[in-house]
Structure 1
Amino acid sequence: LIELVDPEWALNADPASVAAGPVTFSVSNHGSVVHNFRVIRTDLAPDALPLDDSSFQVDEAQVEVVGSLSEFPAGETQQLSVELASDSYVLICNVPTHYQAGMSTAFTVE
């Protein structure tokens, strides 16, 4: 179980790496606004994902999203279970402007 705490404008994963196989993320929104959650397989740095300038979001057509949670409100915790292969990933919130505000973190599957 990977605990992700969203203190508002940040994402912190504990642990930040796991073995390949089934992975469950428990994402807690400790902020005051809605957030969502994306697991993206990529070799790019967490702050280097391609942006869609018209929507102020990461352009999901240009990255490989391998798991996601829809928007959920402040104070709520949601879980996402996905099968992850050995690779590098970036975990983000892709609500408009949230990624640019710092809501991303690297995640490694070994």
Structure 2
Amino acid sequence: MTDEDHGGAEAVDDVLAALADPTRRRLLDLLAAQGEASATALAERLPVSRQAVVKHLAVLDAAGLVSGSRVGREVRYAVRPAALDATARWMAALAADWDRRLARIKRIAESAEGP
């Protein structure tokens, strides 16, 4: 495995770990629907504190799923789709690999059955 492959695997691991939490998935849904929002605005839509939202956003940011930009006194967050795209490509490649393996098993089984 090359360093680039390892970095790609780490990025997918980070995304999957971040998405494992339902609150973080909900934050991504809210940001995708709104375009961008502050932690305060997001906390108003969730049953958790603003501080909890900030911690969840930090995990999403570290995984490359959101980015924050300062606007005046607040930080506004937005979805960064590149990390999701990379993870989706990895999942599609994994599914295609399994499809090929299953097709091969089917061919072997069918040829073993004979006429």
Is this a same-fold pair by TM over 0.5?
A: no
Greater fraction helix: 2
Q: Which has the larger radius of gyration?
A: 2
TM normalised by structure 1 equals 0.25
Structure of greater relative contact order (alpha carbons < 8 Å, 6+ residues apart):
1
